[in-house]
Amino acid sequence: MSVEVSVVLPAYNEETTIEQTVGTTLETLASFLPEGSYEVIVAEDGCDDATPEIAANIADETDAVRHVHSDTRLGRGRALEYAFRRSDGDTLVYFDTDLATDMSHLEELVESVRSEGYDVATGSRWMPGAIADRPLKRSLPSRGFNWLVRLLLGSELRDHQCGFKAFDRTALFSLLDAVEDEHWFWDTEVLVYAQNQGYRVKEFAVDWEPVGDTKVDFVRDVFGMGSQILRCWWTFTVQPRITRGVTIAGGALLVVAAIAIMSIYIDPFTVVDEIRGADPLYLAGGALVYLLSWPLRGIRYRDILSEQGYTTDTWFLTGAVFISQTGNLVIPARIGDAVRAYVVKMRRNIPYASGFASLAVERVFDLLTITALSSAVFLGLAASNPNVWQLGSVLRTGSESGRTALVVAVGVGVAAILATVGIVLSARSDSNHIRSAVTAISSDTYADYVANTLEQFAGDVQTVTSSPYAFVRVGAGSVAIWTLDVVTALLVFAAFDISLPVATFVSVGFFAVSVGNLAKVLPLSPNGVGLYEGAFSLIVVVFTPVAGPTALAAATVDHAIKNVLTVIGGVVSTLVLNVSLTTAVKESREIQPSETD
């Protein structure tokens, strides 16, 4: 008789229970299936105890049992897939080896797919009639998780994570290529995809009693599952709607939004008269200089990724930087940084951990460079200009935006120096505190995944910062980028026909722009609009005889030129690179491994 039903038991370090679990499974299957019509597969996932030997012995002694071994940890989801692809049955079943779900439900689970025509069947601990002995510390996160899945992913099921499921072989294999998670969220992702594809899914109440430690796992439940829900929400809800037409319309709205944001944080009537008298040639020169800084940003980003082991073209990276900075301008909390990590992942197959690490390196060099520039100029001003000591009184009596800007700038500058020192020291240390910190919070298998990701992130950061050659090369690029940023501001400043000695003009301009850029690092407003202008105009007024409205007008125009050019560059980049997320996902699957070396 051919095998009709394959039952997979995912096993990781189950030496004390696996023999009993297999025996109970065989006994239950024999109670309602003909002999020879079923098989039990122990999917042993890189165990480091005696589970492999025990499973192998059981398989040698029992014809209905097979042992599928993996030398390395695949994760729960991938271990199930690995075993299912090696099974023979048309009805594929799995349940947790602790047998938390009462085995009296196994016949209903199997027959729902085998004879009733359902494509997927799953037990539920939250349906009416279910009996689930769950402590409050487990039931609350579980209910919250399932509520979010229903809300964001459109699922109609009550319980997505119950480890008691059956599938039609053809239906499951049609879904697996789309499923990305390798760990605990695999269960949920399969169920959501099945519903989206129109497969028949049966959910039925079960009796369930936890076995062993049932404490809430912080890493898995909060970080792991939550991030996976957001990933699937993006894939199901946002991604299909991002077309070329939507991109063009969205770009136009971004330009409008950038202009609108300026009017929210800056009173346009305060500076409009001053702006009318500005020399357009100087403004155009400032815009041209600012545009020249963008290829340098792409080159610097290329150098950072190159140190991490990823080679790609400068123009693509310049476009990616444009797109991310546009996101940071319009949306607070630096959402654009995540957008850039997504773009390089989808288009160049650079892992998220490395993408975010490259951004962290870029931010550190930005802050360190700006801090160094502002500190150097400040020392020069302190030696030659007695007005420098008025900054203390300005913190008590100046405008709110100016006071906030100075406080933020000082704090960010100190943090940048400390962060750089910390990274350099950690790069020279052999100690690994990341894994110990994660495992102190969680002992779950998902913690290994989180720890590996964080270690990759830290390693990528240290790779760049610990190399003297890379440090100098990326640092020089940063100095060039921010020098052009300052030159842009000086040209805009000059457009207002300001009569100042050249040395004062340049030194005050450098200091004002540097402090303004430090002030806008924290996402207190989109792209620091308001903070930049406050810091810039306050410093100009303190160190020069320039009137407040003129200084504010110069700062506003300088920031507006930079923001509008950034948005335009971001829109053009989305069109030139055709960064439709749907296309990006499709193209990312065609990238060969050699392209990421």
In the beta sheet, which residues pair with residue 556? Answer: none
Place of tokens 């140190």: 307
User: Residue 547 — φ and ψ, nearest 5°?
Assistant: -70, 155
* E strands in 288-424: none
Query: What is the rounded CA–CA span in Å between residue 44 and residue 575?
Result: 48
Q: CB 60: neighbour CB atoms within 10 A?
A: 10
- For 98-142, the DSSP string reads T--B-GGGHHHHHHHHHTT--SEEEEESSSTT-EE---HHHHHHH
Q: Pairing relation of β-strands 91-95 and 164-168?
A: antiparallel
Q: CB 488: neighbour CB atoms within 10 A?
A: 25
Query: What is the rounded CA–CA span in Å between residue 407 and residue 403?
Result: 6
168 tagged catalytic: no
Q: Are 563 and 287 in contact (CB under 8 A)?
A: no
Q: Pairing relation of β-strands 38-45 and 207-208?
A: unpaired
Place of tokens 């990759």: 456
Q: CB 309: neighbour CB atoms within 10 A?
A: 12
Single out the catalytic residue among 187, 337, 366, 444: 187
CA dihedral of residues 49, 50, 51, 56 (deg, nearest 10): 150
Handedness of CA 334, 338, 341, 344 (dihedral sign): negative
Q: Say whether 19 sits in a helix, a strand or coil.
A: helix
- From its phi and psi, is residue 36 left (phi > 0), alpha (psi between -120 and 50) or beta? left
Quick one: three-class SS letters along 527-577?
HHCCHHHHHHHHHHHHHCCCCHHHHHHHHHHHHHHHHHHHHHHHHHHHHHC
Residues 6+ positions from 153 with CB-CB distance below 8 Å: 192, 229, 232, 233, 236
Query: What is the rounded CA–CA span in Å between residue 465 and residue 467?
Result: 6
Query: What is the rounded CA–CA span in Å between residue 243 and residue 583?
Result: 9
In the beta sheet, which residues pair with residue 68? Answer: 43
Q: Are 51 and 13 in contact (CB under 8 A)?
A: yes
Over the Cα atoms of the chain, what is R_g? 30
The secondary structure element, H or E, covering residue 65 is strand 65-70
Tokens standing for residue 357: 């690490």
Burial class (CB in 10 A: 0-12, 13-18, 19+), 364: buried
Active site residues: 187
